[in-house]
Structures are given as structure tokens and as C-alpha cells.
Chains A and B, each alone.
Chain A
């Protein structure tokens, strides 16, 4: 595996391999000296054309734990803000010695472009491109589900409900591909205006009612973040109205089964898509997701740069 652009590119074996490696590499984080020499001498550039402190830090920690050199390059302070093209920026980074580029970009397909247009030969890891994909988020979600509900196995038969702004969510798309590859049954629920045309062609069930979806007793409920700036743009109505229909709170929280897993990619809008009660419920695994994020990113960086099994 030279690049990680989309979870749709992963076979079940590859995905399970990454998750197994992530599990092992995650153990490093529990040690006193949290570092392996696996990627010593390798240079990884975090090219973040769109802001994201959490994902960048997670990749940075993952690379550091594998002893790689990490350089952070963000749009606000770079030549990209002076009108330099993505191609020129990427070629410059490679000329400076980048072995892998972790890219976050507002345009769907930007990571694919770096990997496949022949501009550069460095390994590319997609850290989120437009509303296309965010594959390491899906891997960390799968890892969290696996740890809690299916240790050591695939996700066969596990019912996952993804709730919220499906239309603009790269997290939803990456999860739809990956979780289904791993055998899970995925349903997406959200308001009509945020349900993208043709999403069912990706193999998922769709629902326009949170209550109805919950009545199927999902094993996992994944709440997506509401991007507040999109509320007016898409005429979603008011935040209280959204919360009334789509927040994981009160009755809905109470209706979840005893071992139902609650996930959220963060950062959370407490009181909007998720209540504090739900976020802090023992069934929620939100901080485990964050910790697993470092593990899967270690596994991915190791895989694309060293190609081994760790």
C-alpha cells in the first residue's frame, strides 16, 4: 500500500491488517518510552490546507512515536496563501525531502490528485478532502467498535447508525465504505436536506427519522458534528429545531440498548447534536476514539512508508 486515499480502496484483509497493527502499535503509547525506531530517517509533512488542530496533532504524535521527522505546513502561513498551486507546493515539499505527505484539503479529490496525477512520487495519506473522505477517521472508528464489540474479529452483523449531516460528511463516506467492507450493516439518518442523492447506491439503508432508526436497536450510534456555518447556508432552520429532531439526548439516549456504543468524531457541539449526558455516558467511547486515532495513524504511516506488517 503506497497511499491511503479512500477506504473504498481497502480490501477486508488490508483493513483488518491495519487494525491489527494499530492494536499492537497502540501498546507503545502505554509504555514509559513512547517511541519505536520504525520510521527513523523518514520525513513526513503534514500539509494542512484546511485547519484541523486535532487531526494534525494526532498525525504528528503518530509520526513522532515511530521516530519520523515531522514538518507541519499549514495554509495560513504558507505560499499556498500567496497563490502557489497545490502541484507546485507538493513538488517543493518533495524536493525538500518529504517521504510522505499527509494532506487535509477543502477540495474533494486533492489527495487523489497528489497520489495519481504524476506530480510527485511521495506516499500520500488523505487526512480529509472536501466532503469526499477521511479514511483514518473511519479506521479509528472501526478500531473502537472492534475493541468494544468484536475483539479480534471483523464487524460481521454489527448494526451501525450514522446520524446527521450525511451530505457534507467525509467521515460518513469513509465509514460507509470501510464498515461495510468489514461486514457491518450501515444505516444513515438525517434531515432530508442533508441526505445526499444516491447515497443508497453505496449499499446503506437511509432514514429520515431518528426514532425509527433507533427502534431497530443499533449496536453503534455515530453522531456527526453539525457544522454551524452550514446551518443557514442549507436552510436547516434553527439550532433548537435541529436539536429537537436530531440530537442524541433524553428519550433517545434512554432507548439505546445496554451495550450500544456511542461515537462522535469530535469536536462535539454539546447540546446540539449530542447532549452532555450522552457524551459522558459510559457507553460513549469518544476519548477511546481519540486514543485509537494515534494508533491507526501509526499503522497507516508505517504501512505506506515501510510496507511491512509491523
Chain B
């Protein structure tokens, strides 16, 4: 049994919460003693709709266990693991394998994402229905890492997931406009002699898929928006009543292409870091609701994949352990939004998109998945974390907020600001 005393919820109400048998049994003013949470915010555990756990196939970068530990340390109680493993998660058997690894790790719910196309090759649909009815109960499908570029196939995929209320999460990148792309297209790419990644390559796929979602009446989720233009397209699509949700990463909210001047591949990511007018548009969109969720796109890579020249380096950044701090910076420290919005983008809405009913709420009878943060804390981000990899672009930056406790299904995974050994 855990009793939390005097925590503040997202509406700034002071509450006591009693947890027993893995569920919340009481909320209110309780007479019994418990852990003093004065000054701490209690929120439903965070849910990441976009995590790369790398197992099976790339265990040198991350495993389900190390990624789960990193997630718990970042305040997460559930992560959706992307399908671009080796082998690719494109069958019932393979998604169940990842699901089992998650259960064995026991730090967060690991909800596998199924591949949209076999082997992520973009040629034929994978076993979508079988994955949906498997033990892993897959609801989100994505070829993330690559775009589902074939329009007919994308339409078929949207139709296929509609039957069971699933969603296609699209990595929006027209591959014909981005061969060899290394960074944001523009004057800086020209100066640095690196091949550009044009904004249109992202925007036109979002536009196309919004129309397909409208036609099929299916749910569409857009991964990692990066440009001001992409925000405009999503805003337009929502105005048409199209059923789509949009995601932004912590790094695209805060970091810009200027960092590429260092030629340090810790800043190499796909889609690339853009310009300050883009980060500004993304921040506004997160505040006004055009963007629904923050997904980390946690993409661990072992040192040798980054300790090389820019062109040869792998794309991606880790992000689970500082996402909440970045969101606090953007929503709260800016004075432009509030903790209810914070709770929505990191927990409620991601849980809804993923169909995870055990997450995203604090209510009597609900599964006890909770995160308590100290919003007054300030910390310098370290590159060494619970992830197996250290490719963290925020390392050395000072960010607000710290996870004090993570409670996963009624048990502490983080207690006293430290990950609990298991």
C-alpha cells in the first residue's frame, strides 16, 4: 500500500492518494499517514507513443530492459515500441516477443507497434489483423524510420486498421525528395556542404494522408512534425474534421539546425532539426492543441554510430529522460500554458491514441500509473543515463523539473528521484 500526502494535481488541487493492489483506491483528504508530497505534482504516468527499444537486433544500442528503465526514470509508465527492429515487428509472433520482453523487464508497459508493410519495405501490407488479435493487442501501426510512400498501400492500411479502431502512425517523408538528405535544406546546408532535407517532403505526405484519412474515415497519426508548414497542414486538416493526431519530439521543440555547425552527429536526426521559426510554430501548435502529443522518438545508438563523420553517422537521439523537462520548459516556464495541457500532451492524449485504458488518468478504481515531479527543481542534463546509449543532444543543458517518483501498476519504479532496482 502506498499513501501519497499533499500532492498537487494538474488543476492545482492538493490531494492525498491511496494505492492498494495496484489500483487507486481513494483520492481526497485522508487521515492516515503517508509520504509527504508537498510541492510535488502528481500526474498520470507518462505514455510515449514513439520509442525505439532496438530489441531484437540492435541490442548494442538498447534492449527492452534498458529502454524500459530509461522510460521509468523519465516518468513513463508505458511506451510504444517502434517496429524497425531486426527482424522487423511485422507478425503476431514478433510483436508478442517484444511484448513478452516488456513484461519480463517490468518497468513500464511495453506496447509494440506493428509494421504497416512487411519488412518495412513498402511493398505489401504486413499481418495487421493478426497482430491486432495477438496477445500484444496491437493498435498502432507504423513503418517509422521510413515513410509508407505508396498511396494505394497507405489507403489499404488505413482501411485495414479501421475494423478494430487502430491507427496508422506515418513517418512523413517523401523519399524521392530526400535522397541522401543530411540536414534541413537551406542556406546553412549549402554553406556546410550537406545535402538538404526540404520541408515539402514532410508537408506533402501529411496533406496526402489527411485526404486518405478523410476518404477512408480512418484514424491517422503523424509522427514527429518538424516544420511550420506541417503545422499549417495539420491545422487545416483538423478544420476539415479529419480524424488525425499530431506529434512533436522534445528536440524539434527546442533545438535548431544551427547546432549542425559543429558537425557533431549527436545533432543528426531524421527528420532533421529545423529553424527557429519552425520551433516557434511547433511550440505554439503544442500550446493551442494543433499538436496533440509529445513523442520522444527515443532513438539510441551505440557510440561508434556517432563517433564518425556526419555523413556516415546514424540518425537519432535519445529522449526519454528529459522529455518532461523540455515540455515544462515550453509550456510552463514560458508562461504560455498550464499543467493540465502538460498532462494532456504527455499522458492523457497519448494513452488515448494508443488505446491504453490503464494509463492516462487519476481516478478511484483506475490502475495506479502515476508520476510525481518536482517542478521547482533545475538540473543539468547528463549524457550518461539509464539508456544503453549516450546520444543525448540536451547533455549539458540546464532544464527545469525532475521526476521524483514513478509508480507503475502500484509499485515504485522511481523513488526518491532514483530508479528502483528490480
Binding site for B on A (CB under 8 A): 85-87, 105-110, 112-113, 116-117, 129-133, 167, 170, 173, 196-199, 201-202
Residues 406-420 of B, flagged 1 when their CB comes within 8 A of A and 0 if not, give 000000000000000
- Are B192 and A87 in contact, with the CB atoms below 8 A? no
Does B31 have its Cβ within 8 Å of any Cβ on chain A?
no
Query: Known: A197-B185, A198-B187, A198-B188. Contact between A170 and B309, CB under 8 A?
Result: no
- Are B186 and A112 in contact, with the CB atoms below 8 A? no
- Are A197 and B190 in contact, with the CB atoms below 8 A? yes
Question: Which residues of the other chain, B, contact A107 by a CB distance below 8 angstroms?
Answer: 309-312
Instruction: Kindly state the separation between the CA atoms of A86 and B265 in the bound complex, as whole angstroms.
Output: 14
17 extra A-B contacts, CB within 8 A, seeds A108-B193, A108-B263, A197-B189: A86-B308, A86-B309, A107-B309, A108-B194, A109-B194, A116-B263, A117-B307, A130-B311, A197-B185, A197-B186, A197-B187, A197-B190, A198-B186, A198-B189, A199-B187, A199-B190, A202-B187
CB distance from B271 to the nearest CB of A (A): 17
Instruction: Kindly state the separation between the CA atoms of A196 and B191 in the bound complex, as whole angstroms.
Output: 9
Does B26 have its Cβ within 8 Å of any Cβ on chain A?
no
- Are A108 and B310 in contact, with the CB atoms below 8 A? yes
Instruction: Kindly state the separation between the CA atoms of A112 and B264 in the bound complex, as whole angstroms.
Output: 9
Instruction: Kindly state the separation between the CA atoms of A197 and B194 in the bound complex, as whole angstroms.
Output: 12
CB distance from A201 to the nearest CB of B (A): 4
Query: Known: A85-B304, A109-B263, A202-B191. Contact between A197 and B310, CB under 8 A?
Result: no
What is the size, in residues, of chain B's interface with A at 8 Å between Cβ atoms?
A: 21
Question: Which residues of the other chain, A, contact B186 by a CB distance below 8 angstroms?
Answer: 197-198
Question: Which residues of the other chain, B, contact A196 by a CB distance below 8 angstroms?
Answer: 190
Does B196 have its Cβ within 8 Å of any Cβ on chain A?
yes
Question: Which residues of the other chain, A, contact B304 by a CB distance below 8 angstroms?
Answer: 85
Within 8 Å by CB of A117, from B191, B264, B311, lies: B264
CB distance from A132 to the nearest CB of B (A): 3
Question: Which residues of the other chain, A, contact B176 by a CB distance below 8 angstroms?
Answer: none
- Are B263 and A112 in contact, with the CB atoms below 8 A? yes
CB distance from B274 to the nearest CB of A (A): 14
Question: Which residues of the other chain, A, contact B263 by a CB distance below 8 angstroms?
Answer: 108-109, 112-113, 116
Question: Which residues of the other chain, A, contact B307 by a CB distance below 8 angstroms?
Answer: 85, 87, 117
- Are A109 and B190 in contact, with the CB atoms below 8 A? no
Question: Which residues of the other chain, B, contact A198 by a CB distance below 8 angstroms?
Answer: 186-191
Does B334 have its Cβ within 8 Å of any Cβ on chain A?
no
- Are B193 and A197 in contact, with the CB atoms below 8 A? no
- Are B311 and A108 in contact, with the CB atoms below 8 A? yes
Within 8 Å by CB of A129, from B191, B193, B262, B308, lies: B193
CB distance from B227 to the nearest CB of A (A): 15
Question: Which residues of the other chain, A, contact B187 by a CB distance below 8 angstroms?
Answer: 197-199, 201-202
Question: Which residues of the other chain, B, contact A105 by a CB distance below 8 angstroms?
Answer: 309
CB distance from A3 to the nearest CB of B (A): 13
30 contacts between A and B (CB under 8 A): A85-B304, A85-B307, A85-B308, A86-B308, A106-B311, A107-B309, A107-B311, A108-B193, A108-B194, A108-B311, A109-B193, A109-B309, A112-B262, A112-B263, A113-B310, A116-B262, A117-B264, A129-B193, A132-B192, A167-B190, A197-B185, A197-B186, A197-B187, A197-B189, A198-B187, A198-B188, A198-B189, A198-B191, A199-B190, A201-B187
